[in-house]
């Protein structure tokens, strides 16, 4: 009998991110890292940070020496950004504030309103942050030419900043210009996504949602789109239900008769 093909080994940058995901998941009795009435993100965050502290110390991932003495505020919601002189091909990002990035939450009580009001952002947990970073590699940037971009999003380690543990990740420097809305729409629709609201897309076939897909987070690199700083999520629970309901609502509205 012919043998099944051997799956390609994940690239090294994915392995450390996947390990961080498992460390965070190991702090909970179930897999409810989802937003909704049952979630307690603050409690999840505290448990996950404690586990990451232990893991980072054991693996030698506490790398305060990597960060310059002064890091300019990038004025983004989620990261401080800096460059390292030894690696000019990459940009380094430090999570900032009490959250680890942001995470979209579903607001079931707003279903009577237009779909654009159904979701809000809240501070993310470390698990949500590392899952989204890994998803960017495996589900959004996997089409990139790996000769040009041999290493995608990578977890570099952790630092203590203002008494808090923060993650440092890095990503390639993408040479291009912000993608236009029409280019982004074409890119997402070609891949089976449905438009939900400004900056948000959802693929019903596998539950993949992409938030924060606005011009500054998606680059046009020689007619190749790179969604380098969006928020991808394999939605579950109330968030998944709300996204499917949003698609159904928007589809029904598109079939309403023209009042004119």
pLDDT of residue 156: 97
Interval 192-206: pLDDT, tens: 999 999 899 999 999
Mean pLDDT by 10 residues, the chain (260 residues): 53 95 85 51 92 97 88 79 91 89 87 90 95 97 90 96 91 94 96 95 98 94 92 95 95 63
d(CA 73, CA 50): 26
Cα 25 to Cα 128, 129, 164: the distances in Å are 10, 12, 20
What is the pLDDT, as a whole number, of residue 3? 44
Residue in 109, 139, 147, 161 with CA at minimum distance from that of residue 231 = 139
Please list, in sequence order, all residues whose beta carbon lies within 8 angstroms of the beta carbon of residue 114, skipping any fewer than 6 positions away.
none
- What pLDDT is recorded for position 74? 67
Q: Which element (helix H / strand E) includes 50?
A: helix 41-59
pLDDT for 255: 61
Four-CA torsion 178, 182, 183, 187, nearest 10 degrees: 130
- CB of 128 closer than 8 Å to CB of 45: no
Of the candidates 119, 72, 121, which has an alpha carbon nearest to the alpha carbon of residue 96?
72
User: Which pLDDT belongs to residue 39?
Assistant: 60
Q: In degrees rounded to 5, what are phi and psi of residue 47?
A: -65, -40
Q: Exposed (0-12), middle (13-18) or buried (19+): which is 191, by Cβ within 10 Å? A: middle
Measure the CA–CA gap between 155 and 50, rounded to whole angstroms.
Answer: 18
Question: In angstroms, rounded to a whole number, what is the distance separating the alpha carbons of residues 27 and 43?
Answer: 10
From the number of C-beta atoms within 10 Å of its C-beta (0-12, 13-18, 19+), residue 107 rates as middle
User: Residues 58-100: pLDDT tens digits?
Assistant: 999 999 888 888 777 667 789 999 999 889 999 999 998 778 9
Nearest CA-CA partner of 115 in 40, 200, 205? 200
């Amino acid at each position: 009998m012919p043998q099944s093909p051997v799956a390609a080994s994940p690239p090294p940058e994915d392995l450390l991110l996947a390990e961080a995901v498992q460390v965070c998941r190991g702090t909970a009795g179930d897999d409810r890292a989802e937003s909704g009435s049952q979630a307690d993100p603050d409690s999840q965050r505290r448990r996950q940070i404690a586990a990451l502290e232990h893991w980072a110390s054991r693996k030698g991932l506490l790398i305060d020496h990597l960060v310059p003495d002064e890091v300019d505020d990038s004025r983004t919601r989620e990261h401080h950004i800096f460059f390292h002189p030894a690696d000019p091909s990459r940009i380094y990002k430090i999570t900032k504030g009490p959250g680890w990035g942001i995470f979209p939450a579903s607001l079931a009580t707003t279903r009577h309103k237009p779909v654009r009001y159904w979701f809000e952002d809240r501070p993310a947990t470390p698990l949500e942050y590392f899952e989204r970073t890994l998803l960017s590699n495996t589900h959004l940037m996997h089409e990139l030419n790996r000769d040009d971009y041999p290493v995608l999003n990578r977890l570099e380690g952790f630092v203590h900043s203002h008494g808090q543990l923060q993650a440092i990740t890095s990503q390639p420097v993408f040479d291009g210009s912000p993608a236009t809305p029409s280019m982004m729409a074409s890119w997402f629709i070609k891949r089976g996504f449905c438009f939900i609201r400004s900056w948000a897309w959802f693929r019903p076939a596998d539950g993949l949602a992409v938030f924060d897909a606005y011009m500054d987070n998606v680059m046009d690199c020689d007619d190749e789109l790179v969604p380098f700083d969006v928020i991808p999520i394999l939605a579950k629970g109330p968030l998944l239900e709300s996204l499917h309901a949003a698609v159904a609502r928007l589809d029904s509205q598109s079939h309403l008769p023209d009042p004119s």
